Homo-oligomer: A and B are copies of this chain.
Amino acid sequence: MHTVTVALGARSYRILIGDRLLPQLGPACRRLTLGTRCAVITDSRVGPRYAPHALRSLRQAGFDPTLITVPAGEPSKRLATVARCGNALAAHRLERRSFVVALGGGVVGDLAGFVAASYLRGIDFVQVPTTLLAQVDSSVGGKTGVNLPAGKNLVGAFWQPRLVLCDLSTLRTLPDREFRAGLAEVIKYGVISDASLFRRLEREMPRLRRRDPKTLAGIVARCCAIKARIVSQDETESGLRAILNFGHTIGHAIEAVSGYGRWLHGEAIAVGMVLAARLSQDLVGLPPDEASRLTALLQAAGLPVAAQWTPAQQRRLLTAMLHDKKVRAGEIRFVLARRLGAAEHGHPVPLDALRRVLASAQGGCSTSHGSPH
């Protein structure tokens, strides 16, 4: 088992990474100072498979859990679901010392985290991420939130978990497309801060795609360690933490313009990273061969690296970017990479450069996802 610590003073916590860890959930919670009553929030896809194990482990450790299952998928990430979960917590009489367990992927983690952050003005919570994306990214660092009609993640809180438990065996049942989407965030860590991780991914991608347990354990732990270090230095994204958004400004716009659900987050981020690398070439001198290596690695991971957009669609993408919450004083700022392993945040990008790069996106590579409508 790998252990990574997120160092945040009194709010520090551990990430446990290993095979078949779910039966350890109860004992691991027991080692923290948590109340007896708790709620496991999961979704209709993960719940049937893993919730019974989570509940059993919690009960055996002396906890009194209730189960809340929300429909699988992004539409559950909204305030109406927060209200539904809050009512269920109240019905099970959760108190200030009670806690919430998020059992599922990014949607469940973001939702359950915000439920915990806001119920009784904040109770403890534990992340049990069951997708690659959630294990290496969204479960670590305390970003929680839900969507509004006006945009994704517009309502939320910084609320750190007390524990993150990554059971790698839950990844075995993950559909291949979702696993590949998770690899986009894995590759991102290499680009933004760890050239040796990037090289390792170039070597080990085939083994990783086969979900070889040992390879997986090492890679997930490495990604968590990078994220933990960044979050420890800048918990609320006043600076450094923004580098985690490499590829995300364009990626979010792709998701928004194409209607959420058509592209998986990781797929949109993959294309976003290719374009951010192109901007990095133009604006901060990323060597062309390094940009090519990024494209090649994303392709090796089975991810899209280009898309076909009409001029009207390009305009919609630009408009969406101008609405992104990373916009400051109306100027679009990007995370750019000077070289693999070294990204910098806060680069203002002229609209013209952005238009050029969007127009160039219809690269030679085909994608299984088509254009954003």
Q: Interface residues, chain A, CB within 8 Å of chain B?
A: 35-36, 78-80, 82-83, 86-87, 90-91, 93, 95-97, 114, 117-122, 143-145, 148-151, 153-158, 236, 323, 325, 327-329
Q: A78-B83, A120-B325 are in contact. List 7 more A-B contacts (CB 8 A).
A: A83-B155, A86-B148, A87-B150, A117-B157, A118-B118, A120-B156, A122-B158
CB of A155 within 8 A of CB of B95, answer no
CB of B325 within 8 A of CB of A95, answer yes
CB of B90 within 8 A of CB of A79, answer no
Identify the closest chain B residue to A87 (Cβ). B150
Chain B residues closer than 8 Å to A121, beta-carbon distance: 143-145, 153, 156-158, 236
> Known contacts A79-B79, A121-B158, A158-B122; is A86 also within 8 Å of B150 by CB?
yes
- The 7 listed contacts between A and B (C-beta, < 8 Å) are A83-B155, A86-B148, A87-B150, A95-B327, A121-B156, A121-B157, A122-B157
CB distance from A203 to the nearest CB of B (A): 37
> Known contacts A87-B148, A97-B328; is A154 also within 8 Å of B119 by CB?
yes
CB of A118 within 8 A of CB of B328, answer no
Chain B residues closer than 8 Å to A149, beta-carbon distance: 83, 87
Chain B residues closer than 8 Å to A96, beta-carbon distance: 325, 328
Chain B residues closer than 8 Å to A158, beta-carbon distance: 121-122
> Known contacts A80-B79, A325-B95, A327-B95; is A86 also within 8 Å of B122 by CB?
no
Chain B residues closer than 8 Å to A157, beta-carbon distance: 117-118, 121-122, 157
Chain B residues closer than 8 Å to A328, beta-carbon distance: 95-97
Q: How far is the CA of A156 from the CA of B86 in the complex (A)?
A: 11
CB of A155 within 8 A of CB of B97, answer no
CB of B155 within 8 A of CB of A118, answer yes
Chain B residues closer than 8 Å to A148, beta-carbon distance: 83, 86-87, 90
A-B pairs, 5 with minimum CB distance: A90-B150, A87-B150, A79-B79, A121-B156, A118-B155
Q: How far is the CA of A122 from the CA of B157 in the complex (A)?
A: 7
Identify the closest chain B residue to A327 (Cβ). B95
Chain B residues closer than 8 Å to A95, beta-carbon distance: 325, 327-329
Q: How far is the CA of A201 from the CA of B249 in the complex (A)?
A: 58
Identify the closest chain B residue to A37 (Cβ). B329
